[in-house]
Amino acid sequence: MVGPALAAIAAELRDGDELIVIDNGSTDGTPEAVRESAPRATLVEAGENLGFAAGSNRGAALSSGELLLFLNPDAVVAPGFRESIEHPLTEGRGWAAWQGMVTADGGRTINSRGGDVHFTGIAWAGGAGEAMTDSPDRGAAERAGTASGQETSPERPSGTGAAGFEPGFVSGACLAVSARGFEALGGFAEEFFLYHEDVDLSLRLRLAGGRLGVEPAARVDHDYEFEKGPGKWRRLERNRWATLVRTYPTGLLGLLMPALLATEAALVPISIAGGWFTQKLGSWWDVIRWLPRLRQERRAIQATRRVTPAAFAGGLTADLDSAYLGAAGRSRVLRALLRGYWSAVLALVPG
């Protein structure tokens, strides 16, 4: 139910702020909740499920502000969020996009302190499940990064975030981006419908020379559940490949192709054991059907590139250190192999 999220963000608004709610054909009383909890909001009743990407783009098109903020309907902001989420803009940090500190379990644990992107395109919420610190200062992101090894691993990016590191991507659960930059890149990829669109947007911003960040003083609690049925895997996998095709520079993509094909082979038995092999097959079919369009999109996206392939690669990681990845993330042998392969790629990728 969107009511708690609406009431929380509505209480933070200042004169001149816009609150736009896109109702994607819901049946849970969302329009009534909007009118009750946020009567100042602009409500758009789409009449159908447009998906996160298209719905967000529609809302952005209606906005007249300099800064866009995308929030999930189950993301409840903490008091003081409005002031904190604007700090990167008012302080002139030069970030193209950023996120707040996304928590879970009523603020007791981390949901995302900034996302990680593996060089195969697999992406996850950084720090998910770790205990949250009590103080919402900027040191929180640094402590969270250290807890997961972000600052000590040579495969991770050094960066420009508030705590001295740059996330691989910023979470769509609480994503702030300049309206001008968002429009220039064409917004979210609407064909994705759901999942990975925040990764794709983040990588396109980085490709164009933009920096990403995390503002840990801006807290938002997200009612997150990873398991949403086997249908999720088809979208995750097809959108991962679409992101690879669209955003990875040619020199990097060529060097990674053996690893990408090996990953596909490894995912076959994993998907069979997990009961989502049919979804994996469906993702391959989707990518094949999409290839003509993806090639056109790739040409347009690569034309915006302002960084070297090596600099782009610096935002990726070789480690699969997510609790969601199970045994693969815990395997020391696999970690050593991936790090060795990634070191070779970084030595060869055009600088």
Number of domains in the chain: 2
- Statement to judge: residues 64 and 152 lie in one domain: yes
Backbone angles phi, psi at 49, to 5 degrees: -85, 100
- Statement to judge: residues 190 and 235 lie in one domain: no
Residue with tokens 């995750």: 236
Report the pLDDT value the prediction gives residue 228, as an integer from 0 to 100: 59
Domain of residue 191: give its range.
3-222
- Statement to judge: residues 16 and 86 lie in one domain: yes
| Residue 50: CATH number of its domain | 3.90.550.60
- Statement to judge: residues 193 and 283 lie in one domain: no
Residue ending a domain, among 165, 191, 222, is: 222
Return the amino acid letter for 230: P
Contact present, 155 and 317 (Cβ < 8 Å): yes
- Statement to judge: residues 182 and 134 lie in one domain: yes
Task: Give pLDDT tens digits for 316-347.
Answer: 999 998 877 878 778 899 999 999 999 999 99
- Statement to judge: residues 124 and 186 lie in one domain: yes
- Statement to judge: residues 13 and 96 lie in one domain: yes
- Statement to judge: residues 211 and 124 lie in one domain: yes
Contact present, 69 and 14 (Cβ < 8 Å): no
Distance CA 188, CA 47 (A): 20
Whole-number Cα distances in Å, 105 to 80, 131, 172, 323:
19, 10, 19, 17
- Statement to judge: residues 202 and 314 lie in one domain: no
Both tokens of 95, joined, read 């970030």
Residue ending a domain, among 205, 222, 239, is: 222
SS (HEC) of the chain: CCHHHHHHHHCCCCCCCCCEEEECCCCCCHHHHHHHHCCCCEEEECCCCCHHHHHHHHHHHHCCCCEEEEECCCEEECCCHHHHHCHHHHCCCCEEEEEEEEEEHHHCEEEECCEEEECCCCEEECCCCCECCCCCCCHHHHHHHHHCCCCCCCCCCCCCCCCCCCCCECCCCEEEEEHHHHHHCCCCCHHHCCCCHHHHHHHHHHHCCCEEEEEEEEEEEECCCCCCCCHHHHHHHHHHHHHHHHHCCHHHHHHHHHHHHHHHHHHHHHHHHHCCHHHHHHHHHHHHHHHHHHHHHHHHHHCCCCCCHHHHHCCCECCCCCHHHCHHHHCHHHHHHHHHHHHHHHHHCCC
Report the pLDDT value the prediction gives residue 164, as an integer from 0 to 100: 55
- Statement to judge: residues 146 and 238 lie in one domain: no
The pTM is what?
0.90
Report the pLDDT value the prediction gives residue 327, as an integer from 0 to 100: 82
Per-residue pLDDT tens, the chain, 351 aa: give them.
688 899 999 999 999 999 999 999 888 888 888 888 888 899 999 899 999 999 999 999 999 999 999 999 999 999 999 999 999 999 999 999 999 999 999 999 999 999 999 999 999 999 988 998 754 444 444 433 333 333 333 333 333 444 457 999 999 999 999 999 999 999 999 999 999 999 999 999 999 999 999 999 999 999 766 665 678 999 999 999 999 999 999 999 999 999 999 999 999 999 999 999 999 999 999 999 999 999 999 999 999 999 999 999 999 999 998 877 878 778 899 999 999 999 999 999 998
Distance CA 330, CA 327 (A): 5
- Statement to judge: residues 245 and 309 lie in one domain: yes
Max CA-CA distance within the chain? 58
With the C-alpha atoms ordered 273, 245, 96, 165, is the resulting torsion angle positive or negative?
A: positive
With the C-alpha atoms ordered 190, 191, 196, 199, is the resulting torsion angle positive or negative?
A: negative
- Statement to judge: residues 239 and 315 lie in one domain: yes
Residue ending a domain, among 183, 205, 222, is: 222
